[in-house]
Amino acid sequence: MAVLLIAEHNNKELRPFTLNAATAASQIDDEVHAVIIGQNSEPAAKKLSELPIVKKVISIEAPHYENFTAENFAPVIIKLAENYSHIICSANTFGKNLMPRIAAHLDTSQVSDVIKVISPDTFIRPIYAGNAFATVKTNDEKKCVTIRPTSFEPCESSGGTAPIEKGEAAEEFSNTKFIKREEIKSDRPELGTARIVVSGGRGMQSGDNFKLITDVADKLGAAIGASRAAVDAGYISNDHQVGQTGKVVVPDLYIAIGISGAIQHLAGMKESKVIVAINKDGEAPIFSVADYGLEADLFEALPQFMEELNKLNTIQK
Amino acid sequence: MKILVAVKRVIDYNVQIRVKEDGSGVVTDNVKMSTNPPDDNAIEEAVKIKESGKATEIVAVTVGEVKAQETVRKALAVGADRGIHVKTDSVLEPLAVSKILQKIVDKEKPDLVFMGKQAIDDDCNQTGQMLSALLNWPQATFASNIEVKDNSLEVTREIDEGLETVEINIPAIVTCDLRLNEPRYASLPNIMKAKKKPIEEINVSDLGIDITGRIEQLKVEEPPKRKAGIKVANVAELVQKLKNEAKVI
Ligand SMILES: Cc1cc2nc3c(=O)[nH]c(=O)nc-3n(C[C@H](O)[C@H](O)[C@H](O)COP(=O)(O)OP(=O)(O)OC[C@H]3O[C@@H](n4cnc5c(N)ncnc54)[C@H](O)[C@@H]3O)c2cc1C
Ligand SMILES: Nc1ncnc2c1ncn2[C@@H]1O[C@H](COP(=O)(O)O)[C@@H](O)[C@H]1O
């Protein structure tokens, strides 16, 4: 039986992690079908049909799908589920919100946040904030799996010509009403997929001081991250939080500034290829995962860092 | 209005997790246990709603071994009115927990169920959504703000792109983020008073549901360790290393 991938999108475009979830799906079975539920989502459906991994696209449209409410999406997927062995999507807030609602209806025990596919029924997933890896085998006939997108490469996004079939909408769930979404728009790369991430913690002392970080980030073409403490203190908005209860990032370079390195923060960044820590406390746990540690006051180090970057002839983008 | 709050006992978030050598799990003997952190936020929010006069009763429920009752006791000490302890020694998957909670909801008929968004041991992030599926109730997950209206809640949700606001009609499920509020500490007099509050014990076998696990844990191992890095003397050296050694800028 084929695998059903749930596409994440904004009606116009696919969200980037759909490509990572597609890769994971293709490691389970060659026959990957993708469902896209939305309103006026033809442009995103077309992009989905161009992923060479995807053999068929099922497009389902209705006004009540415009805002991606789990209560509306779940019944659609449940109807499709009989034809599939697995249902897959990313373990980001979209998938975390939606998949358990599907799994419970199918009487399936969901496997969350998979970082490796061993076989169609066996997976590795982190537990305890990534302090242990569990290999788990699901014995449910139908498998509901969310994958950690940063653990899978994005798939090829062009060249495919999968047919797009229209699917049937389900009734609207009237007890949940979408009110609004406040997306923080920025020209910087997305935190989840950026090549470089520069993150600030409580050591930044104020939101205004984050300017020191934005300067460096802009110079490096980097995304901006933060610890929970920095978000809680209101220095920066919640979508920047890295960690066990925020986002997981795996950039080529992660620069942690004024962040102590609590395990809940490490859970979100310790797989980064190169880690830099700037902290005035030489004993800070962040240094135990840093490839390059600089024990210094960030208010001196960051302006110097800018200066040194300005001296470079070229900077990789 | 009656609010049911689900609280789970987990290894305290400050404990350095150790994986057992035989690969069967993590060490839990003689390890400090606490209430799952966002479940404290769930209780706090319920208590605040009650204090504002919009709720009349708060019932705290836990599913687990004998000692799990401590989490209910703690909830009682910060303001829950009574507790329910569903007793089992089995390690349960979220699907099983949600089926148990569904039975408790059928019996208690709460208007709202508050839960944590994620248990920090299994990191599943499933139970609330599963319970709302089973009940066919609306769900507001990852809540960082809740406004109580006449027959609904307006909830701000933390999502990857920023914030989302939904209005959900009561009865409903809310799963709470740590940013929802600042959980209070229990005062000594309240801890004493909580000892007199009732906790109903229910054997899971009396609920008549199948809680058999569907997922086998084949092996638990330590994640690969990062190799030790170096300290650099100054910013110039750092930039030089990033450019010429790591080749990332
Ligand atoms: C259930 C749970 C989930 C959590 N989830 C997350 C999560 O997803 N992400 C997350 O980040 N946290 C999370 N936390 C919080 C986590 O435990 C820590 O409290 C948090 O990461 C600390 O943030 P911080 O390092 O910025 O602050 P602190 O720990 O206060 O560290 C600040 C650091 O800045 C340094 N510093 C101060 N001034 C300067 C200066 N002038 N120059 C240089 N260095 C300076 C200090 O030496 C210190 O090391 C969670 C906690 C719990 C209980
Ligand atoms: N054994 C349990 N007893 C009571 N509540 C639980 C239990 N397991 C999970 N929950 C609730 O479900 C939430 C999410 O858990 P999980 O789906 O395991 O990440 C927790 O924050 C609790 O509110």
Helix orientation angle between B127-135 and A70-80, rounded to the nearest 10 degrees: 80
Within its chain, how far is the Cα of A195 from the centroid? 14
Which residue among B19, B117, B248 sits closest to A252, beta carbon to beta carbon?
A: B248
Residues in CB range of A250: below 8 A, 6 or more apart: A150, A151, A269, A271, A272, A273
Tokens representing A167 are 């699917």
Of residues B18, B21, B31, the one with CA closest to residue B10: B31
Q: Which amino acid is at A18?
A: T
Length of chain A: 317
Strand B82-87 with B9-11, pairing: unpaired
pLDDT at A189: 93
Q: pTM of the predicted model, to two decimals?
A: 0.96
Length of chain B: 249
Q: How far apart are CA A80 and CA A102, in angstroms?
A: 11
Ligand located closest to A277 CA: 1
Question: What does the pLDDT look like over A110-169, one tens digit per residue?
Answer: 999 999 999 999 999 999 999 999 999 999 999 999 999 999 999 999 999 999 999 999
Task: Please tell me whether the peptide bond between B171 and the residue prior to it is cis, using omega within 30 degrees of 0.
Answer: yes
Please tell me whether residue B120 adopts helix, strand or coil conformation: coil
- C-alpha dist (Å) from residue A311 to A176, A219, A315, B19: 55, 12, 10, 47
CB atoms inside a 10 Å sphere around CB B209: 13
Is the distance from CB of B246 to CB of A307 less than 8 angstroms? no
Handedness of CA B29, B31, B33, B37 (dihedral sign): negative
Q: Which amino acid is at A147?
A: I
Of residues B51, B37, B193, the one with CA closest to residue B117: B37
On chain B, the residues whose CB falls within 8 A of the CB of A139 are: 214-216
Strand A292-295 with B230-232, pairing: parallel
Handedness of CA B68, B69, B75, B80 (dihedral sign): positive
For chain B, residues with pLDDT lower than 70 are none
Alpha-carbon distance A163 to nearest alpha carbon in chain B (angstroms): 30
The complex scores an ipTM of 0.96
| CA distance between the termini of chain A | 42
Residues with CB under 6 Å of ligand 2 are B 6-8, 36, 38-39, 62-64, 92, 94, 97, 115-116, 118-119, 122, 124-128
Tokens representing B142 are 């990852």
Q: State the closest ligand 2 atom to the C-alpha of B176, by its place in the atom list counted from 1.
A: 21
Is the distance from CB of A233 to CB of A211 less than 8 angstroms? no
Residues in CB range of B205: below 8 A, 6 or more apart: none
Is the distance from CB of A157 to CB of A47 less than 8 angstroms? yes
pLDDT at A317: 75
Which residue among A136, A176, A252 sits closest to B216, beta carbon to beta carbon?
A: A136
Q: How far apart are CA A247 and CA A245, in angstroms?
A: 7
Minimum CA distance residue for ligand 2 atom 13: B116
Q: Which amino acid is at B225?
A: K
Sheet of B215-221: strands edge to edge?
A116-119, A122-127, A132-138, B215-221
Tokens representing A276 are 């830099």
Give the pLDDT of chain A (317 residues) as one tens digit per residue.
899 999 999 999 999 999 999 999 999 999 999 999 999 999 999 999 999 999 999 999 999 999 999 999 999 999 999 999 999 999 999 999 999 999 999 999 999 999 999 999 999 999 999 999 999 999 999 999 999 999 999 999 999 999 999 999 999 999 999 999 998 888 899 999 999 999 999 999 999 999 999 999 999 999 999 999 999 999 999 999 999 999 999 999 999 999 999 999 999 999 999 999 999 999 999 999 999 999 999 999 999 999 999 999 888 87
H helices within A50-154, ranges in order? 70-80, 93-105
Burial of B3 (0-12, 13-18, 19+ CB in 10 A): buried
Q: How far apart are CA A93 and CA B160, in angstroms?
A: 6
Is the distance from CB of A69 to CB of A201 less than 8 angstroms? no
Strands (DSSP E) found in chain A = 2-6, 32-38, 54-61, 84-90, 111-114, 116-119, 122-127, 132-138, 143-147, 164-166, 176-183, 196-200, 223-226, 253-257, 274-279, 292-295
Residues with CB under 6 Å of ligand 1 are A 201-203, 227-230, 241-246, 258-260, 262, 264-265, 268, 279-281, 284, 297-299; B 13, 37, 120, 178
Is the distance from CB of A112 to CB of A79 less than 8 angstroms? no
Nearest CA in chain A to B175: A97
Within its chain, how far is the Cα of A278 from the centroid? 26
Distance A175 CA to ligand 2 centre (A): 24
Pocket test for ligand 1, best of A96, A264, A270, A300 (most atoms within 8 A of CB): A264
Ligand located closest to B39 CA: 2
> How far is it between the farthest Cα atoms of chain B?
68
pLDDT at B227: 86
Compute the radius of gyration of chain B from its Cα atoms. 21
Question: What does the pLDDT look like over A264-298, one tens digit per residue?
Answer: 999 999 999 999 999 999 999 999 999 999 999 99
Distance B34 CA to ligand 2 centre (A): 13
